[in-house]
Amino acid sequence: MATAHRRTGTSGTGANGRFGTEAREEDGHATLALPVTIRPAKQDDLPTLEWYGLHSPHREIIAGAFRLQERGDGAMLLADVNGFPVGQICIDFLRKRPSGRATLWALRVFQPFRRLGLGVRLVRAAERLVVQRGVPFAELGVDRDNAGVLPFYERLGYEHCGRERGQFLYHTPEGRLVRVAIDQWLLQKRMAEAAKPEGGRGLRLATD
């Protein structure tokens, strides 16, 4: 799972959005308008979040994120299209609470729904929850071998703030212990600046 897309109420439920135009068929092709709602995850969503087996090995991670939300120490927001969670972002309010940071992580969008703006909607919804909790900074990690996503976060106003190394462990449904090495750039955004125009400043990245 990666560590690190309306108005949102205190529950985190977003207003409906809509993709495309009214259905119109020409030569066998149609454009469909699909409503999307950003909402908190429910217990019933957990099996569906495995995305037909794609994330079944991460069942323990998904369940852990949901438990964090249930305890009030996190949030798990979904992009819901026709009852199916086509996107997800998680927030950990506990891990870096002493330093005034909320960690955004596990941003993902089901492939057929990518490049439609869902990632931006999920990040914005997560940021609104961070503001509502009174946390000064949102922080996320980008794997150093995944630098291609950096411009996405740069456009959203995130700036380089450090580097993190380590590992995390999880068990697969079969009971196998998996160790995942972490080597990430850390990016942050001051929530008080969320309303300012998104600048074009380049990210300065650690090289060692």
> What DSSP line would sit under the chain, residue for residue?
-------B-TT-PBPPEEES-S-EEETTEEE--EEEEEEE--GGGTTGGGTTTTTGGGHHHHHHHHHHHHTTSEEEEEEEETTEEEEEEEEESSTTGGGTEEEEEEEEE-GGGTTSSHHHHHHHHHHHHHHHTT-SEEEEEEETT-GGGHHHHHHTT-EEEEEEEEEEEEE-TT--EEEEEEEEEEEEEEGGGTTSPP--PPPP----
Query: What is the model's pTM?
Result: 0.81
Q: Is the pLDDT of residue 17 over 80?
A: no
pLDDT over 70 for what percent of the chain? 80
Q: Is the pLDDT of residue 15 over 90?
A: no
Q: Candidates 3.30.950.10, 2.60.40.10, 3.40.630.30, 3.90.650.10; correct CATH number of 33-193?
A: 3.40.630.30
Average pLDDT rounded to a whole number, residues 12-32: 60
Q: Is the pLDDT of residue 135 over 60?
A: yes
Average pLDDT rounded to a whole number, residues 140-161: 96
Q: Is the pLDDT of residue 172 over 90?
A: yes
Average pLDDT of the chain, as a whole number:
86
